[in-house]
Amino acid sequence: MKAENGIGLSAPQVGVLKNVIAIWIDETQPYVFVNPKIATASVDLFKVKEGCLSVPGYFEDRERPRHITLEFFDTVGVKHEVAFSDLSAFCIQHEIDHLNGKLFIDHSSELKRDRIKARIKKVTKSKGK
């Protein structure tokens, strides 16, 4: 995640079929959430130029709820309920989408998704992957 300048990652993105996400917004420490569930979400929105490690080289303006309350277990099995705002809330929502089999581009039209996929192929080919 950090090697690619990401701020969040879901277990399925790295081939681990577990309901786990991690975010690392600042340089303090990463957060790991097991079985995360959004309990509440605000109607107030937060706008970010969203990108994804699974969709390299593509970014799109997107709005998501500014505040969420997240229910989750930590890595030792203790249940928590914590409020998150702004970029942290946005990132958590993005990663939970991955757990539900969604990419942020899935919210785009089919035509736009086709263009994005073509751009991804071009970026991936230029990086020699």
Give the number of other CB atoms < 10 A from CB of residue 104.
Answer: 21
95 is catalytic: yes
DSSP string for 27-72:
SS--EEEEEEEEEEE-SSEEEEEEEETTEEEEEEEEEEESEEEEEE
Half-sphere exposure of 128 (CA within 13 A, CB side): 0
- Choose the catalytic residue: 4, 27, 95, 110: 95
Catalytic residue positions, numbered: 95
